[in-house]
Amino acid sequence: MRRIFGINKTGIPNGSKSDIWLLGVCYKVVQDDDPSIEPTQSEGFSAFVDDFSSRILVTYRKGFPPIGDSKYTSDVNWGCMLRSSQMLVAQALLLHRLGRSWRKSLDKPHDQKYVDILHLFGDSEESACSIHNLLQAGKTYGLSPGSWVGPYAMCRTWETLARSKREETGNADMSSLMSFYVVSGDEDGERGGAPVLCVEDIVRHCSDLSNGEVDWIPVLFLVPLVLGLDKINSRYLPLLAATFSFPQSLGILGGRPGASTYIVGVQDDQAFYLDPHEVQPVVDIKTDKLDIDTSSYHCNTLRHFPLDSIDPSLAIGFYCRDKSDFDDFCIRASKLVDQSNGAPLFTITETRSSPTAVEYNDRVTSNSGVPELDSFDAVGPGESDGGRPEDEWQLL
């Protein structure tokens, strides 16, 4: 089958022996004790493939109930941004509910939490994160069946959908909450420049959503960016690659014009991605059916493309489970700002009135900073999880 980026590329780009970063975890494909072993035969590569194939794949579907009052029963040729964003949010929910070290098991019955997450992305109004509900929530931002949508509108749509679901369900259980927060620039980005993440605003956001009952609730940060005109400005490429070393990384919504994908990892100048452009029949995921076939929600083929071919309009995602996780994220992001030569992806400030970015770098330690842009320092697979507790959850 012809892939959206041309030739179906698999395996390691050009036989590279460089480390692979996948959503905050580093995999060494060359063994120090025996560098003669081919990268694809290494334990590190095997662990990477296991991790990659455990990420949730969401693709075009056909045969679902009509969307709203339309006659659309498939999203083929127009729903790729919606599907890519569903994959990013699904990864956030995997982190939130099952932890970064979770891997899909071949055994049945499946884990109940895993099936519950898949159910959220079913293709009907009954599923909270369905394409049906996203299109309804995104009407204000121009979303409609049959029309393509950009990253900024997609991020705002998720924020709106989460708000509507919160109003429907209330905040009965503080341990279940996960919120969405879109990071934008001055006047919602209309003045241009790098988006600004204000710590004071985030703290208030968490307090407001919990009605003051807790100081922090888990947050999914979405950062929509425009990093060039027709082509991405090359000065941003090392910064984008470095974000995959953050333990909080949820990857990137991006691709080529009109062809969105979910980018989950990098090796050298290549990006690994999950492709939503395959058309599959609808699967009815029931939460009480733990033996259901979920193979269509996972990908066993590695695909990659040059990072410099990404569309300049994209969005980055991060998940911060608790305040210490957020502080660590701020440290890493602030160091990345310092390495940006005056052109950061986004900045962090303590308050809206702060004249300069918050100084987190004084607290950077040897094990909490981001790697230098020209080389990534490796950590073992799974070590980035940090033993963070698993939570029950609901969308906010």
Catalytic residues, which ones? 80, 275, 277
What is the Cα 60 distance to its own chain's centre?
18
Pairwise CA distance, residues 155 & 316, whole Å: 10
10 Å Cβ neighbour count for 310?
24
**Alpha helices of the chain — where are they, by DSSP H?**
43-54, 80-98, 112-120, 131-137, 151-169, 199-209, 237-243, 323-338
**Which residues in the chain belong to E strands, given as ranges?**
20-22, 25-27, 60-62, 177-182, 196-198, 219-226, 249-256, 259-267, 270-274, 279-281, 303-306, 313-320, 347-349, 394-395
Amino acid at 14: N
Q: Is 93 exposed, middle or buried (0-12, 13-18, 19+ CB in 10 A)?
A: buried
Give 280's DSSP letter. E
**Tokens standing for 151?**
């990253």
Q: Which of 251, 219, 225, 193 is nearest to 327 (CA)?
A: 219
Count of CA atoms in the C-beta half-sphere (13 A) of 113: 18
Amino acid at 380: G
